[in-house]
Amino acid sequence: MDLNNTVLTGKKLRGAEKMARIPIKVVPTETTPKKPEWIRTKISQPEEVQIIKDLLRQQKLHTVCEEAACPNLPQCFGSGTATFMIMGDICTRRCPFCDVAHGRPHVLDTNEPKHLAETVKNLNLKYVVITSVDRDDLKDGGAQHFADCIREIREISPNTLIEILVPDFRGRADIALKILSQNPPDVFNHNIETVPRLYKAMRPGSNYQHSLDLLKKFKHYCPDIPTKCGLMVGLGEVEAEVIVLLNDLKDYQVDYVTIGQYLQPSKSHAPIHRFVALQEFKHYQIHGERLAFKNIWSAPLVRSSYFADRQYHGEAVPNPYMSE
């Protein structure tokens, strides 16, 4: 973790402060491009959204839905679903596409797994997604904390399916996977995010091959547990590169895939290179189906945890995303 000594524990760096020390500098955009008509979200059941937010604050929990400014938050919260973000809301990485704050994280809250399990039970969730910030400051990258959350949820909600969306556990993958294999989730998810050519700019501190290896190694430890991987388009890749990436995911035994449009969180973040046309999303969908993934969702507003239960159960990507 490369943090300036003047950064205080718990201080959140966002926007230009967060991007100041990444390898390839982001030039702030003066204007943001207008979204095409097929990228639209609507607010549904605002009272249900507020109930979930109030419950999360009571239990001192965070969601990636809120921290990463996900465009699907109203839909998911309105239907009683959320993706929980454990180990705090400060990340040790500085990915320029991500809106989660960077800085020195607080020590782990040992009560968080219990609070998370209580919230899952109170919301009567049948399927829960748990993700985290990167915690390069921890010897196991936070793997034991994931395992503790899985254990606590299963103790009081044994019928709830659990998907974990993990970081890359850089330098700690073997120990992390050994820990998680002893108390595995129902789905193991790790996002590869973009094509290898763009890694230095978009995922500083990460490695494309390492992410592929992480997914395959987990499958070695737990061959009966499905793996899942997500990526964004519109960052500067070309279609042929995405096709090769999908081939790689199949070669590395990934079961579920999600592809969505990158949306710039602020003018200080990585700019949108282009809005990908619906037809191109369909090309990826068709190619993924030919590769025989268990399920692939490719559409503008798809995110790795968006209606994850529906994808797990084999449903098609929700309309109107694939409409002409």
The alpha helices in 157-277, defined as continuous H runs, are 173-182, 199-202, 208-221, 239-251
**Is 157 annotated for ligand binding?**
no
The answer to whether 312 and 127 are in contact (CB under 8 A) is: yes
**Is 323 annotated for ligand binding?**
no
What does the block give as tokens for 61? Answer: 């929990």
**Is 305 annotated for ligand binding?**
yes
Partners of 229 in the β-ladder:
257
**Is 70 annotated for ligand binding?**
yes
**Is 76 annotated for ligand binding?**
yes
**Is 91 annotated for ligand binding?**
yes
Interacting residues of 321 by C-beta distance below 8 A, sequence separation 6+: 38, 281, 299, 300, 301, 302
Closest CA to 7 of 93, 102, 89, 88: 102
Q: How far is CA 52 from CA 66, 84, 90, 101, 122, in A?
A: 11, 12, 21, 22, 10
Closest CA to 297 of 282, 275, 280, 317: 317
The answer to whether 270 and 264 are in contact (CB under 8 A) is: yes
Question: Which residues participate in the annotated binding site?
Answer: 65, 70, 76, 91, 95, 98, 305
Question: Which residues participate in the annotated binding site for [4Fe-4S] cluster?
Answer: 65, 70, 76, 91, 95, 98, 305
